Amino acid sequence: MKNLLTSIPAAGRGEIIEQILNTGSVRIERIISMGHTSPASGWYDQDEDEWVLVLQGAGKITFENGSEFLLCPGDSLDIYAHQKHRVSWTDPAAATIWLAIFYHR
């Protein structure tokens, strides 16, 4: 058993990504951000679809087409494969805990 809201490692220089499950067709990760954003020089362009849920904190996801979504606890977003996006903001004052599920449609 694992509680995704406990055992939060101290934030360092980068986001903390912990793999929870990997079946080969589905991967689940807990991502912990504290003021972290995607590199300014590029976009995520993934081969997999990604469903993301904010469990704690807040973060903003920006898409290449300019649309932005602010996610707060309980908010989720489904991101299609090759839909270019980036994390443009996370709460710098508190840990943002994401649950990310990567899969293929």
- Which class for 42: exposed (0-12), middle (13-18), buried (19 or more C-beta within 10 A)? exposed
DSSP string, 23-54: -SSEEEEEEEESS----TT--B--SSEEEEEE
* pLDDT for position 11: 60
Over residues 27-81, the pLDDT tens digits come to: 999 999 989 998 888 899 999 999 999 999 999 999 999 999 999 999 999 999 9
Over residues 87-96, the pLDDT tens digits come to: 999 999 989 9
Whether 3 maps to a domain, the answer reads no
Tell which wins on pLDDT, 68 or 7: 68
Q: What's the structural domain count of the chain? A: 1
* pLDDT for position 26: 97
**36 with 15: CB under 8 angstroms?**
yes
Whether 90 maps to a domain, the answer reads yes
Q: What CATH number does the domain containing 62 carry?
A: 2.60.120.10
Domain residues for the domain of 61 are 16-103
Whether 10 maps to a domain, the answer reads no
Q: Is the pTM of this model over 0.75?
A: yes
Structure tokens at 57: 């904190």
Report the 10 Å Cβ neighbour count for 77: 15
